[in-house]
Structure 1
Amino acid sequence: MSDTDTDIQTLIDMMARLPGLGPRSARRAVLHLIKKRAPLMAPLGAAMQSVAASVRECANCGNICSSNLCEICTSNKRANGEICVVQDVADLWAMERGKAFKGRYHVLGGTLSALDAIGPDELRIPRLLDRIGAEGVTEVILALNATVEGQTTAHYIADQLETAGVRVTSLAQGVPIGGELDYLDDGTISAALKARKSV
C-alpha cells in the first residue's frame, strides 16, 4: 500500500468516526472531496484548521465561541433572569433557531449516567448553581431531551434548586418521549417553550 493509499484510508477512518457517517458513507464523502479538491477539500481543510485554532467553550455557559465569553452571555438584552439548561451546544442552536427564547443558556455537556460514571461534577451542574445567585436568575428552564438520562438529570437539577428561590420549569407539549431537541422543527420547539410547566 502506497503512502497516498494510506493517507486516503486514514482520512476515511477519521471521517467514519463522525456522527451519522459509517465506513461506506465516509468512503463516499472522501471520494467526493478528492474529486472536488480545489473547490471543496482545500477550503474545508483551511476552515477546520481555523476552527481548531480559534474556537473554545464560553467560560460562563459552555457555548462555543471565539472569545472567552459568547455573544449571548455578553448581551445585556439576554440578561432577563431566565436561564435555559440544555444538554449540548446542538440543543442550544436548536433553541436559537426557534427565536422564541430571549434569555441566556447553560450547556451541561451531557447528562447524568451511572453506567458511564458521569456525575454532577463531570457536567456543568456546579457552575449552573453558581450562576443562579451571581446573575440574578429568577427562572431555570430545563430543556433536556425527553430520554431517561435527560429526565433523570432534570430531576436532579430541580432537586438542587429546590431551596434556591427560583422558578424551575421544563418544556411541555411538542417534545416526544425519546425525542432530541436537535431533530425537532422550530415550531415544535417554540410551542414547547411557550407551554413550559413547573417541575
Structure 2
Amino acid sequence: MQFTSESVETLVEQFATLPTIGRKTAQRLTNHVLKMPRDEVEALAQALIDVKEQVMQCSTCFVVTDQDPCPICASHRRDRSTICVVEESSDLLAIERTGDYNGLYHVLGGVISPLDGVGPDDLRIRELAQRIDPSFPGASDASDASDEDAPASSNGTAANPPSDAGPSGADPSGSESADTASSTETSDASEDETPVKEVILAVNPNVEGDTTAYYIAQLLEPFDVTLTRIARGLPIGGDLEYADEATLARALEGRGAV
C-alpha cells in the first residue's frame, strides 16, 4: 500500500534502500520523522550531508575521518612499531573500545573473496607492504620511470653533470652547504620514522578472513617483521557443551599457560 502523499512515499522508498531495512520498518521510520520537530529533522538532514561532504579516508591507514592524517596516525603517543590490520573502519572502533591496544591501524577495505569478485588488488594490501618497506614494488615506479625517461647526450650517456664538478673558477661552497643541509634534514626525518616490528592480523575467523590472512602472511614473509593473528576460541561466559568442534579446536590450539 502506498501513502497518499508522494513525499512520504519517497521517504519510505529511500529508507527501504538501506541495509536490513524492509518496507514495514521504513514506514515506521517515516512515521517517526513526521512526528519529529522541524529542527531535529533539519539536524538529521544536515548530518547526512556532512557525512558526504566532510568525511574522507586517512591517506595512511584508510580509516574514515574528518582530517588527514587521522587522529590515530597523527598521535605521537601511539606505538608506531605495531600495525593492526582490520577489514573495515567499524572493526577499528571495536578494538579501540577495549582500551588494550595502543598501536597503529591499517584498514584493508574488505577481504579476499573470489566468489564476490574481490581480489588482492581490490584491497589495500600493497599499501600495507609499502608502510613496512617504502621500497616495496609500486612505491618506486615513478622514480624508475623518471630514470628511464632521462634525456641522453649525443654519446648516449645521461645528460646529468657530475655533482662535484663545475665551471672553472666557480665557488662550490653554496652547493656544498645546500647538500649538507639536505642530508641533515634527511637524517632527521629518518630518525623520526619508527620501523614496523609487528603486524597484527585482526580479520574475521571465516574462510575469506583466513584466505586474506594467508595471502598477507606470504606477502610479508620476506620482511623483517613479526606477523601475528588475534586468538580464536571460546567467548567469555560460553559453555563447552554448546561450542562447535571448530571453535573448540581453535581454543585448544591457542591455549596459554596459567
TM-score, reference length from structure 2: 0.63
Equivalent position of 1:187 in the other structure: none
Q: Which amino acid aligns with 1:105?
A: Y
Matches within 5 A, 1:168-187: 168-174=227-233
Is 2:206 the partner of 1:157?
no
Give the Å deviation of 1:12. Answer: 1.9
Post-superposition CA distance 1:165-185 (Å, at most 9, x none): 111111104577xxxxxxxxx
CA contact 1:57–1:65 (8 Å) conserved in 2: yes
Is 2:178 the partner of 1:119?
no
Aligned residues: 179
SS class of match (1:26): helix
Q: 1:175 to 1:71 in 2, by over 3 A?
A: farther
Q: 2: distance between equivalents of 1:108 and 1:66?
A: 19
CA contact 1:169–1:196 (8 Å) conserved in 2: no
Q: 1: distance between equivalents of 2:195 and 2:79?
A: 9
Q: Which amino acid aligns with 2:109?
A: G
Q: 1:175 to 1:11 in 2, by over 3 A?
A: farther
SS class of match (1:90): helix
Equivalent position of 2:98 in the other structure: 98
Matches within 5 A, 1:44-193: 44-134=44-134, 136-174=195-233
Give the Å deviation of 1:143. Answer: 0.4
SS class of match (1:81): strand
Q: Which amino acid aligns with 2:94?
A: A
| Unaligned ranges ≥5, structure 1 | 177-194
| Unaligned ranges ≥5, structure 2 | 135-193, 236-253
Post-superposition CA distance 1:111-163 (Å, at most 9, x none): 10111211111111111110112551111100001121111111111111111
Q: 1:122 to 1:4 in 2, by over 3 A?
A: farther
Q: 2: distance between equivalents of 1:164 and 1:93?
A: 28
Highest CA radius of gyration, 1 or 2? 2
Give the Å deviation of 1:196. Answer: 10
Q: 2: distance between equivalents of 1:17 and 1:161?
A: 40
Q: 2: distance between equivalents of 1:76 and 1:24?
A: 49
CA contact 2:84–2:201 (8 Å) conserved in 1: yes
CA contact 1:171–1:196 (8 Å) conserved in 2: no
CA contact 1:172–1:196 (8 Å) conserved in 2: no
Q: 1:46 to 1:154 in 2, by over 3 A?
A: same
CA contact 2:108–2:123 (8 Å) conserved in 1: yes
Which deviates the most, 35-44 or 48-57? 35-44
Q: Which amino acid aligns with 1:111?
A: V
Q: Any runs of at least 4 consecutive aligned residues in structure 1 with deviations exceeding 6 A, and if so which?
A: none
Q: Which amino acid aligns with 1:138?
A: K
